[in-house]
Amino acid sequence: MSATPSPAPRRLLHVGCGLPHPAKLPLGWLPPGPWEEVRLDIDPAVEPDIVASITDMRAVPEASFDAVWSAHNLEHLYPHEVPLALAEFRRVLRPEGFVLLTLPDLQQVAVLVAADRLTEPAYLSPAGPISALDMLYGHGAAIAQGNHFMGHRGGFTARSLQQALEAAGFPLVRVARDERFALWATAHKSAPALVA
């Protein structure tokens, strides 16, 4: 009796991956599992599989990934660069693929600013305390140590993120807030077929 071959792992493009660490992946994507992680970053010092900017991922073949994971990357772009990055995310996805992303929720951050809590810790991250100032302009401690990739150049509210993803051609988009001042979005490359 021959063994049934295991299905090929689904491919995950982890953009803006930073240094390797399993905690940087959502739970369903942690190894061991059915996902193969390919790491992409603009900084060669973090030793990604692919060195590239998220606004120009020509090193990544079209329709070659099942998912793109982007944690705290879009806020590092100028607003005019966001459509370029989202178009690249969509381009590298297979037809049934999706993007999962998270980034600061400027609407929630604005509440802290209005309450004059700009520099008070809002929550504790693995990198240390995070304030409204960090969420607006980038992680101050990392920038002070010379990591200028951590500077923020733009940002989103739930509505503006939904609009940006829809404008990039994603027909099915869901955006939610969490308790740590973040937005989470899933965006599918194509709408699922309706079951008759």
Q: The domain that contains 24 carries what CATH number?
A: 3.40.50.150
- Cα 178 to Cα 123: distance, rounded to the nearest angstrom: 12
Q: Is residue 137 assigned to a domain?
A: no
Residue 84 lies in a domain: yes
Rounded to whole angstroms, how far apart are CA atoms 172 and 162? Answer: 10
* Residue 1 confidence (pLDDT): 54
User: Residue 128: which H helix or E strand, with range?
Assistant: strand 128-131
Domain range for residue 182? 10-104+155-188
Looking at residue 147, what is its pLDDT?
85
Q: Which amino acid is at 91?
A: R
Contacts of 12 (CB under 8 A, 6+ apart): 25, 29, 35, 36, 37, 38, 65, 66, 67, 68, 69
How many structural domains are present in the chain?
1
| Identity of the residue numbered 53 | S
The pLDDT tens digits along the chain (196 residues) read 556 666 678 999 999 998 888 778 887 776 667 889 999 999 999 999 999 999 999 999 999 999 999 999 999 999 999 999 999 999 999 999 999 999 999 999 999 999 999 999 999 988 889 999 999 999 999 899 998 888 999 999 999 999 999 999 999 999 999 988 999 999 999 987 644 4
87: in domain: yes
Please check whether residue 45 lies inside any domain of the structure: yes
Distance (Å, rounded) from C-alpha 196 to C-alpha 187? 24
Q: What integer pLDDT is reported at residue 196 of this predicted model? A: 45
> Does 195 reside within a domain?
no
- Structural domain contains residue 66: yes
In a domain, 36, yes or no: yes
Q: What is the pTM of this model?
A: 0.90
Q: Say what the pLDDT of residue 90 is.
A: 98
Instruction: Report if residue 88 sits inside a domain.
Output: yes
